[in-house]
Structure 1
Amino acid sequence: MDVIVSDGPSYEVLASMLEGYDCPAILVSIDYQILAINQRYREAFGEVSLQKKPRCFEVSHGYTVPCDEAGEDCPLSAVLHTGHKERVLHIHQTPRGKEHVDVEMLPIHDNQGNLLFFVELLRAVSAASAEDVSNKLVGYGKAFNQMLEKITRVCSRNASVLLLGESGSGKELVANAVHQGSTRAKNALVTLECAGLTDSLFESELFGHTKGSFTGANNNRTGLVELANGGTLFLDEIGDVPLSMQVKLLRLIETGSFRPIGSSTIKHSNFRLVCATHKNLSQMVKEGTFRQDLYYRINVFPIYVPSLRERKDDLSLLINTLLKRISERKEYHLTDSALQVLRRYNFPGNIRELSNILNRAVILTDTNLIERSTIQECLYIDNELSQQGDFSAPQQSGLKGIHNIDKEWVDLKTAESRYLSDLMTFHNSDKEAVAKIAGISLRSLYRKLES
Structure 2
Amino acid sequence: MDVFASDASPFYSLSHMLEGYDCPAILVSVDYQILATNAHYRTEFGVVEVTNKPRCFEVSHGYAVPCDEAGEDCPLSAVQQTGHKERVLHIHQTPRGKEHVDVEMLPIHDQQGELLFFVELLRAVSVASAENITSALVGSSKKFNQMLEKVTRVSRSEASVLLLGESGSGKELVAHAIHQSSTRANNALVTLECAGLTDSLFESELFGHVKGAFTGANNHRVGLVEQANGGTLFLDEIGDVPLSMQVKLLRLIETGSFRPVGSSSVKHTDFRLVCATHKNLLAMVENGEFRQDLYYRINVFPIYIPPLRERQDDLPLLISTLLTRLSERKEYHLTDSALQTLKQHNFPGNIRELRNILNRAIVLTDTNLIERRTIEECLTIDSELSQSSSTALLSSSASRENKTSNAQQDWPDLKTAEKNYLSDLMSQHQNDKAKVAAIAGISLRSLYRKLES
TM-score, structure 2 as length reference: 0.83
Residue 391 to residue 199, structure 1, CA distance change in 2 (3 Å): farther
Is 2:114 aligned against 1:106? no
User: What's the RMSD between the two structures over aligned residues?
Assistant: 1.5
What are the within-5 Å matches in structure 2 for residues 383-398 of structure 1?
383-390=383-390
* Cα shift at 1:24: 0.7
Between the aligned partners of 1:326 and 1:132, the Cα distance in structure 2 is 15
> Does the Cα contact within 8 Å between 2:160 and 2:299 map onto a contact in 1?
yes
Task: Work out the CA distance in 2 between the residues paired with 1:118 and 1:259.
Answer: 53
The correspondence of residues 21-420 of structure 1 with structure 2, limited to 5 A, is 21-390=21-390
Corresponding residue for residue 401 of structure 1: none
Question: 1:130 Cα shift?
Answer: 0.7
- 8 Å CA contact 1:24–1:122 kept in 2: the answer is yes
Report if aligned partners of 1:132, 1:318 keep a CA contact under 8 Å in 2.
no
Counterpart-to-counterpart distance in 2, 1:135 and 1:393: 41
User: How does the TM-score come out when normalised to structure 1?
Assistant: 0.84
Q: Matched residue of 1:362: which SS? A: helix
1:342: how far off?
A: 1.1
- Structure 1's unaligned 5+ residue stretches are 1-8, 395-451
> Cα distance 1:391–1:235, how it changes in 2: closer, same or farther (>3 A)?
farther
Closer, same or farther in 2 for the Cα pair 1:244/1:111, shift >3 Å? Answer: same
Q: Deviations over 1:402-430 (max 9, x none)?
A: xxxxxxxxxxxxxxxxxxxxxxxxxxxxx
CA deviation digits over 1:271-315, x for unaligned, max 9? 000000000101111100000000011011111111101111111
Structure 1 residues 2-35: Cα deviation after superposition (integer angstroms, max 9, x where no partner): xxxxxxx922321111111111110111111111
Residue 83 to residue 179, structure 1, CA distance change in 2 (3 Å): same
Answer whether contact 1:134 1:324 (CA < 8 A) is retained: no
Kindly indicate whether the alpha-carbon contact (under 8 Å) linking 1:139 and 1:314 is maintained by their aligned counterparts in 2.
yes
Give the C-alpha shift of residue 329 in structure 1. 1.4
Aligned to 1:447: none
* Distance (Å, rounded) in 1 between the aligned partners of 2:40 and 2:388: 62
CA distance in 2, matches of 1:61, 1:81: 22
Percent identity over paired residues: 79
8 Å Cα contact 2:209/2:222 also seen in 1? yes
**Residue 393 (structure 1) shift:** 9.3
State the 1:131 CA deviation.
2.1
Shift of 1:134: 4.4
Report what 2:424 is aligned to. none
Name the structure 1 match of 2:421: none
Size of the alignment, in residue pairs?
386
2:127 touches 2:135 (CA, 8 Å); kept in 1? Answer: no
Runs of 4 or more consecutive aligned structure 1 residues displaced over 4 Å after TM superposition: 391-394
CA distance change for structure 1 residues 292 and 322 in 2, over 3 Å: closer, same or farther? same
Alpha-carbon distance, 1:228 to partner: 0.4
Structure 2 portions without partners, runs of 5+: 1-8, 395-453
Q: CA deviation at 1:136?
A: 2.4
SS in 1 for 2:50: coil
**What secondary structure sits across from 2:179 in the alignment?**
helix
Aligned residues of 2:129 and 2:135 also touching (Cα < 8 A): no
CA distance in 1, matches of 2:387, 2:72: 45
- Give the 3 Å change call, closer, same or farther, for CA 110–288 of structure 1 in structure 2: same
1:94 shift after superposition? 1.2
